[in-house]
Structure 1
């Protein structure tokens, strides 16, 4: 970026009133991150309640070739690095471990409870649980059973539940987060405490690159989530998120420098470029006016499959996730007041209770699938369903419904 471009960017940024900026008081909780996590929730609904509505114009990889999973994992890593990192800086690594163990047990318990509740629901004759007990591959045309046969012994079900080898696919990212938290979080903090952060990040990249080249990917936990989110691959963005959260103040100081600002502007430009690229996706569901045609369909699909696969975190998807995060965070930092006023009331409560929402949405999905609603081919009906579900979840969060029993 040239000096003239930087000056022009500065001139443009000066048009934004300083009173709009985020009031960074140094508090551990960062409402910008809460709002971003809350923004994931409608995208989650678009991914799992798979009927076409207005939400799909944002949710189906329309703001970039990224999904809710990448955003959720990055944010989870950053928040863990910030919250537990602050305590480690003050009291040392040993003071952090009891809290990490307690959180690990809580996350693992809620995952096993979810798996067993769904396993029990299968035996209720008046409920069709297919939507959360199977996974249908729309591209391969195959349907996979996610639970043992109904005549399997209870010991087999419990055994697989304890190993996270079964469960609804809509909740499996929580299983990945549980394993990630247990296996990588203590290691990351240990390496940071020994001032081996560079080595830590290098090892993280080695694991990612090894798994990127492996066919099939290594799945050391043998848990169900590894088929969609191989842990040796997805640890990359979690580990880097943790490091970013731990060194948040240092990163913010860097981004305030001239070189840091240049990097932010580059990320914004790349994020816009990726967004325009993904608008060329030849999805049949979108009308022609909602798509671009700069990239021929065959070329786009080649690029997508080669550089943007989700399960293996293709390098294009990885770059897109990072630059999009930086761009959105920078936007919220400079324009926090109007953004918070317009969207904070909705997204911040959802973001602060994201684990609770992940748990509840599975049962909402089951409930909707067992209603006499039409076949979900009406755009406005679908939009109303999505909006109603988000509103319902928001009310449940505000009322703290079952907060005593469900981690949030």
Structure 2
């Protein structure tokens, strides 16, 4: 009987790093823009989604092999429900306290973020509850929830019949999004149902593109064998491409060629443009190849591990902190002393670590109680 997969600290550390980068990007300070996409034209969102999919494939794939596919599906649905409850909590906060504070404090960052809510509150609330309206900052969890709900079927198909067909369909959907498939499906839905939520207010992430990142991560997570060694003839061009994109990003800024929009489309974040996918793949191959060496030589980042172990709670906390910062201090367009922005970031990270440490202590206490119970009742 297969055992449950052991927790890998390096994966927790990577997720922790993604959370740090997202916090730096989402906190409305002068450091938001410079800290975005530090490793090339690849953001923390890609890394977070891919790592989440990989860990889901690893954990739930093993659960399916050990306890059966029905148990795996139940576990997926339970996790999706937990994510949905978190999303409802964030929406409730945004549509009440944050909306009121934004209007009261005359903060355009908040009123812009909740623009559709102020235009059509009823449609915004119902649409958000149905995961159809997803304001900025609140548009990652809905995508995560839908992918989690689709994952049991994907895993069933992959484990029983192989992943080739699943990966092929996923690639075709990504390609379709590059040619406007999402907009086409939206227009058809509006014609059939009169959907009142504008396309732009359904969230910045184009799910038909981002599902490919999830499916690939899920597939790799279910592999029972280690990833094969990357051959030099693949690793060398991948390294050169990753280095070139890294230099380009920091020389040109966030917009690679403002005077040539076609290049921007090829590197578009929201639809995962082809050059962006290649950038992510090249960084991934470099990390996979250098990972064992890095794990040996670098000091173990316990702080990042702590954040990564409690990724969902820390993620939600960083959204809450960012929303309140917007409501009280304004957006990145508000000019503040650098000391104020540093203080805001320090306070934000203090809050994130406080949440993670509280949950860690709670988990340790629960573990001690369970161990004590087993010693008192060894038959159970």
Which whole-Å deviations, capped at 9, do the CAs of 1:4-41 have from their partners, x for residues lacking one?
Answer: xxxxxxxxxxxxxxxxxxxxx99432222211111112
Structure 2 partner of 1:250? 225
Structure in which a larger fraction of residues adopt helix: 2
2:299 paired with 1:323: no
- State the distance in 1 between where 2:104 and 2:360 align: 26
Q: Is the 8 A contact 1:84 1:96 kept in 2?
A: yes
- State the distance in 1 between where 2:107 and 2:359 align: 27
TM-score (norm 2): 0.79
Structure 2 partner of 1:272? 243
Of the candidates 357, 367, 375, which is equivalent to residue 398 of structure 1? 357
Which whole-Å deviations, capped at 9, do the CAs of 1:330-384 have from their partners, x for residues lacking one?
Answer: 433212144343xx12211111222212211222123323446994443454234
What SS does structure 1 have at the residue aligned with 2:117? coil
Query: Cα 1:397–1:118, aligned 2, differ >3 Å: closer, same or farther?
Result: same
Cα deviation for residue 85 of structure 1 reads 0.8
Cα deviation for residue 171 of structure 1 reads 2.1
Structure 2 partner of 1:47? 25
Structure 2 partner of 1:362? 319
Q: Is the 8 A contact 2:116 2:201 kept in 1?
A: no
Cα deviation for residue 134 of structure 1 reads 2.9
Of the candidates 195, 202, 227, which is equivalent to residue 161 of structure 2? 195
Cα deviation for residue 316 of structure 1 reads 0.5
- State the distance in 2 between where 1:104 and 1:283 align: 33
Of the candidates 43, 51, 62, which is equivalent to residue 38 of structure 2? 62
Q: How does 1:100-111 map to 2 (within 5 A)?
A: 100-111=76-87
Structure 2 partner of 1:30? 8
What SS does structure 1 have at the residue aligned with 2:242? helix
Structure 2 partner of 1:172? 139
Cα deviation for residue 216 of structure 1 reads 5.8
- State the distance in 2 between where 1:227 and 1:171 align: 8
- State the distance in 1 between where 2:201 and 2:309 align: 24
Q: Which moved more, 1:311-320 or 1:392-401?
A: 392-401
Structure 2 partner of 1:263? 234
Query: Cα 1:113–1:395, aligned 2, differ >3 Å: closer, same or farther?
Result: closer
- State the distance in 1 between where 2:184 and 2:105 align: 36
Cα deviation for residue 210 of structure 1 reads 1.4
Q: Which moved more, 1:359-368 or 1:198-207?
A: 359-368
Structure 2: stretches of 5+ with no match in the other structure = 190-194, 364-380
Structure 2 partner of 1:12? none
Q: Is the 8 A contact 2:37 2:44 kept in 1?
A: no
Q: Number of matched residues?
A: 347
Cα deviation for residue 157 of structure 1 reads 5.5
User: C-alpha root-mean-square deviation of aligned residues, in Å?
Assistant: 3.3
Q: Is the 8 A contact 1:34 1:347 kept in 2?
A: yes
TM-score (norm 1): 0.74
- State the distance in 1 between where 2:116 and 2:132 align: 9
Structure 2 partner of 1:145? 115
Query: Cα 1:177–1:167, aligned 2, differ >3 Å: closer, same or farther?
Result: same
Q: Which moved more, 1:36-45 or 1:377-386?
A: 377-386
